[in-house]
Homo-oligomer: A and B are copies of this chain.
Amino acid sequence: MKVITTPQEMQALAQTWRVDGLIVGLVPTMGWFHEGHLSLMRKAREITDKVIVSLFVNPMQFGPTEDLDNYPHDLERDRKLADAESVDVLYAPDASAMYPVEFKTSVHVHGLTSGLCGGDRPGHFDGVTTVVAKLFNQTLPHIAVFGEKDFQQLAVIRQMVRDLDFPIEIIGHPIVREESGLAMSSRNTYLKENEMEAALSLSKSIAHARMLVEKKETISPDQIKEEVRGIILQHSQCAIDYVEIVDQTSLQSCEQVTGESVLVLAVKINQRIRLIDNSTLIGN
């Protein structure tokens, strides 16, 4: 596996692959790989000829009071993990190469970005869409694989790709969970032993909501959200950023639960660790 650190070298290599008729896959990440990331790499490995994993902790998507400086990182650890998945290139550019002093451009997706995580993290999604547009142009993939844990992010990126006509197929890949049910996240590394029960309330409340829908066909989104909030707030360590049931494409609140409805959660543990989780309420 090759490690590339400059946009120029990355783009030049991707161009040669393209001219050779190879199918290129991209897995964009912020590193500190867990089984969730590795499952995305395996998916890309399965369906493309060349797999690029980008590793960039993007300052533009962090707010001033967020965890940019503490975000876990260990390039050597991640290099070994990606290598073991037969990744072709680990692309880890410097922030100064991604955002030179004269950088002036941003990509904005209206509407989809105003609520949920966008409400709690102003400017976050402009950071995401801008860096993903850059990564797309630097790596020139035919296919890009994103995790469904960042559900709103995936919807926003699909919208950007459709609107700006990027010639790229976006594939969403299911959340990978610990045996306990906890959705895998690089931020789980912040959790202390005595915070684990509180963290598990996200996946437990999702399981409860799915059970409710299975039992009572007529239950309303408001009733479900009420019960979900109750389960989470049993833990004094938890503060809810949002609990919503939204349409998976428009991200608008659902009036009733359908196969298109997704329960989305964001919870802060001890005002320190922001966790997100989501699930459809019917089917897989």
Give how many A residues have a beta carbon under 8 Å from the other chain's beta carbons. 31
Among A62-70, A156-164, A198-206, the one that faces the other chain is A156-164
CA–CA, A140 and B108, complex, Å = 22
A11 at the interface (CB under 8 A from B): yes
A-B contact list, 18 entries, CB within 8 Å: A7-B165, A11-B165, A104-B109, A104-B110, A104-B112, A105-B110, A105-B163, A105-B164, A106-B110, A107-B108, A108-B108, A130-B164, A133-B164, A134-B164, A137-B164, A137-B165, A137-B166, A137-B167
CA–CA, A104 and B159, complex, Å = 7
CA–CA, A19 and B142, complex, Å = 13
Residues on A close to B: CB < 8 A?
Answer: 7, 11, 15, 18-19, 21, 102-112, 129-130, 133-134, 137-138, 140, 159-160, 163-167
Instruction: Name the CB-closest residue of B to A166.
Output: B137
Q: A133-B164, A140-B167, A167-B140 are in contact. Are A105 and B106 (CB under 8 A)?
A: no
Instruction: Name the CB-closest residue of B to A167.
Output: B11
Q: A104-B110, A106-B108 are in contact. List 16 more A-B contacts (CB 8 A).
A: A15-B167, A18-B19, A19-B21, A104-B159, A105-B109, A105-B160, A105-B163, A105-B164, A106-B107, A107-B107, A134-B163, A134-B164, A137-B164, A137-B165, A138-B165, A140-B167
A108 contacts B105, C-beta separation under 8 Å: yes
A106 nearest CB across to chain B (Å):
5
A209 nearest CB across to chain B (Å):
28
